[in-house]
Every structure is written in structure tokens, then in C-alpha cells.
Amino acid sequence: MIDDARPTGAPAGTPAADPFAPGPETPVEALREAIAAELQAARDRTAALTDCVEDTDLTAQHSPLMSPLVWDLAHIGNQEELWLLRNVGGRDPMHPEIDPLYDAFQHPRAERPALPLLPPGEARAYAHEVRGRVLDLLDASPLEGAPLLDAGFAFGMIAQHEQQHDETMLITHQLRKGEPVLAAPPPPPAPADAAALPADVLIPAGPFTMGTDTEPWALDNERPAHRVELPAYRLDTTPVTNGAYLRFIADGGYDDPRWWAPAGWEHRQQAGLTAPLFWRREGGQWLRRRFGVLEPVPLDEPVLHVGWYEADAYARWAGRRLPTEAEWEKAARHDPATGRSRRYPWGDAAPAPAYANLGQRHLRPAPAGSYPEGASPYGVRQLMGDVWEWTASDFRPYPGFSAWPYKEYSEVFFGPEYKVLRGGCFAVAPVACRGTFRNWDYPIRRQIFAGFRTAADVEAG
Ligand SMILES: [Fe+2]
């Protein structure tokens, strides 16, 4: 779950240099610059999402699933103060009385509108004041000598945290009723060769390295690196499209319990599910609402706003299954030529616009088959960006896991009630997306920007 419970999540102001690409150690000055650029990119995004609405919109709750936007705004500042000014800098709390209001574990989202939250002007001023002090701290920090400081980890965690809330706030915008307020960005590039792509690719049997010991800003649940042996399997070349999903609907997929896990069927009945969230049928045509605009469902785009139960049912209807998390990561990172795991499907270079649809550059997924330059060595496309991909796997710790920097980041969420999602989506910033990055959520959740792709076993022999 990309959630406010975790202080962990480039767009306007994409940092130019990647201080973490393999090579000689980054000089501390370059690291400071990269951190400052990431913090600024996050703040630019936060401003874009909160300056476009009236104060009444900021304080309203648009869905019980979400916080009022003004809560996110001050919570971003509060976590930055807590982790950087207090934990790293040793400073005293600026406003200790507001800490409990912005502690995600003390107040579920549905309760937050009733709290005496800082009004919009004060929330902005607080976050701004914190940021000014953080930049002073960054200027003076050696960025080494303590676990929170090494390679600027705590600063990276906070940049990711703000970007994750920017994703959460974009979900709030999607749930918000009323006239559109977000500027319409240009559409993503259409793929030239989508029609010629194979439906799926074979990933041969063999071991690969899952997780990381070396990614400096990786979070605790991505660690440690460990070898995983997998049998051969097949994986869809692209995420499942709206067009394919419509065939599932037209074939009565929502009405046939054969395709659904028992809990999924029960939920489908209770919730009255008949199509992805935000879809409706009018005059024989399927329409979707996207950031306040009603538009025809584009057949060539990856399906979006389906829960895990729907993804699982579709896969069974198609005679396939969801990939496990390990299968997803092997397809995304393993390089059969070298035997090592890459940082991203395309290699070790930082995400760039030619590789993936990230960072809210386009407020929609790109058509299936886009981003040939971002393909993995096996030829799998769009593993990063576009839509989060549901996997078959429960959210569990890797062997040798240890909680860092605190239990509430991941450990308290481990268990069978959460399913893992991989690969980020168009709303995720590059800083908060890696080949090792793990997201998790409840299988009923549909407001998140999630789709899926399918896999199949390969007969032995
Ligand atoms: Fe948070």
C-alpha cells in the first residue's frame, strides 16, 4: 500500500545525474545536489497537486478511503521534520502538539477530517519552514558516518515519502467529484511495433538474484539480495489491455464463479462488481471517468482500477494465472547474458522518458507495447511505469529481513492479507521506483492505479 502509514513512494525537475549508477563513488557534493533536486522535484509535484484546487477542496474528504489533501500536505512536512530535523539533525520538535494529528497509525483516514488539522495556509507554511531548515542541514551534513546518513539514506527516504504521497494525492484527485482541475498533459507515445509483439515470452528455468544489498535508497522490505530458483514459465509481453478485459466482461466473466477465488466471488457479490472502477456503460459503449473527464475506454491501454480478485479471475478465465512476485522480478531484472540482476529492465541507468511512463508526465498509461527502449532482456515491456501490476504473492519478508529504520515501515504489514504489486505506475516518481521496489495492498482495492499481466507454467520435458 502506498500509504501514509510509512514515511518512506522525475516529473517536473527530474534530477539530471544519477548518483547511484554503478561506477566510482559519488563525491559528497554531487550527492547533496542530487538529494536537493529530488526534494525539490517532490515539492514541485506536491504544489501542482494542491495549488490547483480551492481551500475548501483541500479540507474536504473526497472519499473515506483517502485523507483530505490538507492532511497529506502537513503530514509530508511533519515526517520530514521528524526524520531529518529531529532524528538526523538532533533538533527539538517545532510543534510537538501537532505530531499526533499527523501520525498515520493514530488516526485512520476516515477519521482525519474531524481532527483539528492545520488549515491550508498554515500547512503550507509549516512544510516550507521545515524544508528550509532541511536544506541547511543537508549543506552541513557529511552524508556518512551513521546508518541514517550513509549515502543520504534518510533524505532519500523522505524524498520517496513525499512522492508516495503525491501518488496518494493523485488518487484523491481521481476520486474527487466535480469539474476537472488538473492540466491535461500530452498523451504518451504510441508504440510502433505493438501488433508484431509476441503475446508472451518464455523465461527459462534457473536461478536469479532477487532483492538488493546495494541499492542505497532501497527500503527494508527490498533487502537482502538472495538467490531464487524458478522453473521455466511464460509471461505476457505487455500488461493486459482494456480490449482484452472487455472480452472477459462480454464472456460473462463477472457472473461465473468458476473464475473467482472463493473470497473474491463473495466480494464480487457483496460489492456488486461488474467492471473496473470508474467505468460505466452508456448506449452500448464503455466509458471511463479519468480525473473528472468522461471518455471512451481506450482498447489498447493497459486495464486500470481493477482489484486483485478481478485480476485473478481474469487470469483463470484466460487459462493462465498471475505471476508470482519472484517471476515478475526475474523477468524485469535478470540478464541471462551476464547472470546478474539489473537495477531496471533496461539496465542500470536511471529512468528516463524513453524508458518508462513514470512521474505523472502523462496522467494515463501508455498503449500496450510502448517503450521498446525500456524492454527487459527477455523482451518484456512496460514492467516499470504505466500500471502497478498485481502479483500472486502475499507480502512477506525476504529471508534475512531486518526492519529498518523502524518496524512500521514494512514489518507490521507482512502477512497473507496483503498482495504485492510491482513496477510502479504513471503516478510514481522515478525516485520511488526500482526493479526491487515492492508495494502492497488489500485484494479488494481498486482506486489505486493498478492493472496486471498474466503468466503460465511451462510443461517440463
Ligand atoms: Fe506518510
Strand order through the sheet with 415-422:
438-441, 415-422, 388-395, 450-451
409 CA distance to ligand 1 centroid (A)? 10
Q: Hey, what's the cell of 303?
A: 486495464
Q: What are the residues facing 288 on neighbouring strands?
A: 279, 295
Residues 6+ apart with CB under 8 A from 94: 81, 85, 126, 129, 130
CA-nearest of 238, 241, 236, 239 to 202 is 236
Burial 189-217 (b: 16+ CB within 10 A, else e): eebeebeebeebbebeeeebbbbbeebeb
User: Residue 433 C-alpha to ligand 1 middle, in angstroms?
Assistant: 16
- Angle at which helix 308-317 crosses helix 262-271, to 10 degrees, equals 120
Report CA(288)–ligand 1 centroid distance (Å).
29
Q: How many A from CA of 413 to the centre of ligand 1?
A: 14
Residue 22: pLDDT band (50, 70, 90) is: low
| Per-residue confidence (pLDDT) for residue 10, from 0 to 100 | 33
Contact 77, 123 (CB under 8 A): yes
Length of the chain: 461
- What pTM does this model have? 0.95
Q: What is the pLDDT of residue 264?
A: 98
Residues ≥6 apart with Cβ < 8 Å to 250: none
Over residues 34-61, the pLDDT tens digits come to 999 999 999 999 999 999 999 999 999 9
User: Contact 207/335 with Cβ under 8 angstroms?
Assistant: no
**Is 395 a residue whose pLDDT tops 60?**
yes
Q: What is the pLDDT of residues 270-291, one digit of tens each?
A: 999 999 999 999 999 999 999 9
Provide the total of helices (H) and of strands (E) in the chain, helices listed first. 9, 12
158 C-alpha to ligand 1 centroid (Å):
9
CA 253 to CA 18: how far, in whole Å? 45
pLDDT of residue 16: 43
What pLDDT sits at residue 110?
87
Cα of 78 from ligand 1 centre, angstroms: 9
What band does 343 get if pLDDT is binned at 50, 70 and 90? very high
What integer pLDDT is reported at residue 191 of this predicted model? Answer: 83
Answer yes or no: is pLDDT of 384 > 50.
yes
Q: How far does residue 104's CA lie from ligand 1's centre (Å)?
A: 7
For 338, other C-beta atoms within 10 Å of its C-beta total 9
d(CA 170, CA 182): 10
Interval between CA 339 and ligand 1 midpoint (Å): 37
Q: Kindly tell me if the per-residue pLDDT of 334 is higher than 90.
A: yes
DSSP state of 408: T
101 CA from centroid of ligand 1 (Å): 12
What percent of the chain shows pLDDT beyond 70? 95
Ligand 1 mean position, distance from CA 273 (Å):
30
Are the CB atoms for 312 and 242 separated by under 8 Å?
A: no
Residue 6 has pLDDT above 90, yes or no: no
3-state secondary structure 132-190: HHHHHHHHHCCCCCCCCCHHHHHHHHHHHHHHHHHHHHHHHHHHCCCCCCCCCCCCCCC
Could you tell me the distance, in angstroms and rounded to a whole number, from the CA of residue 123 to the centre of ligand 1? 15
Each residue's pLDDT tens digit, 128-164? 999 999 999 999 999 999 999 999 999 999 999 999 9
Q: How far is the CA of 459 from the centre of ligand 1 (A)?
A: 45
8 Å CB contact between 94 and 105: no
Rounded distance, CA 331 to CA 232, Å? 11
CB 442 within 8 Å of CB 417: yes
3 Cα to the center of ligand 1, angstroms: 6
Between the CA of 276 and the centroid of ligand 1 the distance, in Å, is 27
- Ligand 1: centre distance to CA 311 (Å): 27
330 Cα–ligand 1 center, Å: 29
> Ligand 1 mean position to 165 CA, how many Å?
7
pLDDT at residue number 461: 55
Q: What is the pLDDT of residue 17?
A: 55
Local confidence band at 12 (pLDDT 50, 70, 90 cut-offs):
very low
Residues 6+ apart with CB under 8 A from 29: none
298 has a pLDDT exceeding 60: yes
Q: What is the pLDDT of residue 460?
A: 66
Q: What is the CA(164)–ligand 1 centre distance, in A?
A: 8
Q: How far is the CA of 168 from the centre of ligand 1 (A)?
A: 10
Q: Which of 34-43, 102-111, 424-433 has the lowest mean pLDDT?
A: 102-111
Averaged pLDDT of the chain? 94
Those residues with Cβ within 8 angstroms of residue 208's Cβ, 6 or more apart along the chain or in another chain:
227, 228, 230, 329, 330, 333, 334, 341
Give the β-pairing of 279-282 and 233-236: unpaired
